Amino acid sequence: MNEFLLIYRREADFDTQFTAEQLKEISKPWMDWMGGLAAQSILADRGNRLDSAGKVVKPNNVITNGAYVEIKELIGGYSIIKAASLDEAAEIAKGCPILAVGGNVEVREILQM
Amino acid sequence: MQDNKLISDLFRTEHRKLTAVLAGVFGFEHIQIAEDIVSDTFLLATEKWGQNKLPHNPTAWLYTVAKNKAKDHLKHTTIFTQKVSATIKAEHSVYEEIEIDLSEKNINDSQLQMMFAICQPVIPAEAQVGLALRILCGFGIDEIADAFLSNKETINKRLLRAKEKLRQHKVKIEFPDTGEINKRLETVLLTLYLLFNEGYYSISGNTNLRKDLCLEAMRLTYLLIENKPTDLPVVNALFSLMCFHASRFEARIDKNGDMILYDEQDSTLWNDELITRGTNYLIRASRGDQLTRYHLESAIAYWHTIKTDSDEKWENVLQLYNKLLILEYSPMAALNRTYALAKADGKEKAIIEAEKLTQLTGSHLYHSLLGYLYSGIANEKALQHLQTALKLAKNKVEKNRIDKNIKALKKEELLMGRSSN
């Protein structure tokens, strides 16, 4: 089994102000997703969520606001899973709840040092 | 007969106390001597009390005899000069001065210290549970063999090997340093948890023995709560978990010693007092920000004390299992999580998740779960899984239960077939 990084991406203008009730609704699919991975014993690291605020540091003392890779796309968080191959890891990622809200998952194999 | 009963009751309560205190005097490397003295003491009691009559205070009699035997032993061996004299700086007729302190406080302290001495990662968990049963709970080798569904020789060998290993590692009977308590406590709690489970989930037919195992695990956990430095949230969480589980003791085993499943239990037999205690200790466990598997398992057990099914109940149980699995994977939690998912979000959704648990295909419990999930949705598939479960199940109790489910499913099929004709 190898380890794969799942990078959760979503739209940058994603609303981040929620009521408690809305938060509960958002949290359930994510907890069920993580719990499902853990139940298969393939969750290596639940990872973390990332705050939407960020800065990008470039050469020559240039710092810009915004953590966007491309316009309008933002990394919302990441997890690490175990899978036999990149294809299998991609197959597993199909169950990620970010897909239901218009986001996507980047799957990358972690190369051991 | 009366005397025999008295001796066996005293044996259970006093054996462990004497062993812990005497072992504390002799040191772990000479624990066999402590155990022998205690055995000799009880042997003498059986002889004397049978012939003559009972002493006024049987416990005091046992303490005096054990003390004298210990002092005699010290007098006649070199242990004293080698070990004890180095720690006691007395100059004349020293062995007379040795205080063998059988006060309640020293008994409790000795048992706590012994708990830390036995629960060491250098010996296998099963051996730790065995040693705990022998030394901390005063169980006989035959009882331990019964609990583990093993035989006396195997258990004897296992315990001897474990003691030897602890001796090699120069284990001391003492409290760990304050800085070390948390780490050392982890092993102690796991052993107590396993000890409880050994009683709770054991398939041994001896119901009384199983209950004793659970009560002993609770007693030892409670000793830790009564001792201030170890009265930590995690210990309270484990104790509350035990209370919730134990509250169903009378309801989960029928007259023949067979297990009654949760859904079929008579909830009027649940013990309200233990449920209340469990709730109180779970509240005590919520101090601080430490969230352990015992907290999560206790919270799951708490929801199970509410008999009425509701969306709220199963959604909470599901989320607790999610958290438990993210914290620490176990096959049992994976299966129970999927069951909770079926209860919370429906069988269809649970089937999809269950089919992904390919690591569990060798377990009869996994196929039993799929049997349950598919029944009423695809009965043919349900039946296949139950039959696989029947093949994989190892013991009779489990085989019987699966067989019952197969018969029930076939009956249902037959009825449905008729009604559609």
Which ipTM was obtained for this model? 0.89
- Residues with Cβ within 8 Å of B92's Cβ and at least 6 positions away in sequence, in order, are none
CA distance B37 to B25: 12
Give long-range contacts, CB 8 A cutoff, 24+ apart: B374-379.
B374/B347, B375/B409, B375/B412, B376/B347, B377/B347, B377/B348, B377/B351, B379/B409, B379/B412, B379/B413
Kindly tell me if the per-residue pLDDT of A16 is higher than 70: no
Nearest beta carbon to residue A39 from set B315, B319, B337: B337
Q: Is A31–B322 a contact, with Cβ atoms under 8 angstroms apart? A: yes
pLDDT score at B91: 42
CA distance A93 to A99: 9
Residue range A2-109 in CATH 3.90.120.10: no
pLDDT tens digits along B1-48: 466 777 778 888 898 999 999 988 888 888 888 999 999 998 898 888
Q: Is A36–B358 a contact, with Cβ atoms under 8 angstroms apart? A: no
The residue that leads in pLDDT, B116 or B94, is B116
Nearest beta carbon to residue A39 from set B315, B319, B338: B338
pLDDT tens digits along B143-152: 888 888 889 9
pLDDT score at B38: 92
Kindly tell me if the per-residue pLDDT of B259 is higher than 80: no
pLDDT tens digits along A52-97: 888 888 898 888 887 665 567 888 999 999 999 999 999 999 999 9
**What's the rounded mean pLDDT across residues B360-370?**
95
Q: Which residue has the tokens 């044996």?
A: B11
Chain B residue nearest residue A46, CA to CA? B326
| Domain residue ranges in chain A | 2-109
pTM, entire model: 0.86
pLDDT score at B415: 73
Nearest beta carbon to residue A40 from set B321, B322, B356: B356
CB-based contact, B208 to chain A, within 8 Å: no
Average pLDDT of chain A is 89
pLDDT score at B242: 97
| Domain residue ranges in chain B | 1-102, 104-204, 232-304, 308-348, 361-421
CB-based contact, B333 to chain A, within 8 Å: yes
Q: Which residues of B touch A31 (CB under 8 A)?
A: 319, 322-323
Question: Strand A43-49 and strand A73-83: pairing?
Answer: antiparallel
Chain A residue nearest residue B325, CA to CA? A38
